[in-house]
């Protein structure tokens, strides 16, 4: 059974940092594209970052240079380090994973990940 459980959300002032973690089960990190997306009230879902089975990463323009996605295969954990945060980063953040061997390019635009967590709220105040 596949499970994804996010943690690390909270409230931070602009310019601050948070580190999100997603502990998973039932997912092979060496075969699966994984990522983070976010959704703010009244706004469309936005892909934040993804990392493929080889460790190659991709970021939305809005977070490039500020956010870093990484994974620890041994700990079955996906991370999102968020620095220099802005009020517009406020959203519910979701960890997601796709089916094995499907490249990240296949889900990046649509964010049609097969699995996702319940989300963790991030609030950035000015």
Phi and psi at residue 120, to the nearest 5°: -135, 135
Summarize pLDDT for 27-37 with one digit per residue, the tens: 888 889 999 99
Question: What is residue 28's three-state secondary structure?
Answer: coil
Give the angle subtended at the CA of 59 by the CAs of 53 and 64, to the nearest 5°. Answer: 140
* Helix (H), strand (E) at residue 6: strand 3-7
Sign of the CA dihedral with 36 first, then 38, 44, and 48 last: negative
pLDDT at position 28, please? 85
Is there a contact between 37 and 48 (Cβ–Cβ < 8 Å)? yes
The pLDDT tens digits of the residues spanning 68-126 come to 999 999 999 999 999 999 999 999 999 999 999 999 999 887 788 999 999 999 999 99
Q: Which two tokens stand for residue 97?
A: 């994973």
Q: Which residue has the tokens 């499907």?
A: 102
């Amino acid at each position: 059974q596949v499970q994804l459980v996010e943690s690390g959300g909270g409230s931070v002032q602009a310019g601050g940092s948070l580190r999100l973690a997603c502990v998973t089960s039932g997912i092979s990190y060496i075969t699966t594209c994984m990522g983070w997306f976010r959704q703010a009230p009244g706004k469309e879902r936005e892909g934040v970052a993804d990392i493929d089975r080889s460790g190659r990463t991709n970021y939305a323009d809005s977070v490039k240079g500020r956010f870093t996605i990484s994974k620890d295969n041994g700990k079955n954990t996906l991370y999102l380090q968020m620095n220099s945060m802005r009020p517009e980063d406020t959203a519910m953040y979701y960890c997601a994973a796709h089916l094995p061997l499907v490249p990240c390019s296949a889900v990046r635009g649509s964010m049609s990940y097969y699995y996702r967590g319940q989300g963790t709220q991030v609030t950035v105040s000015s």
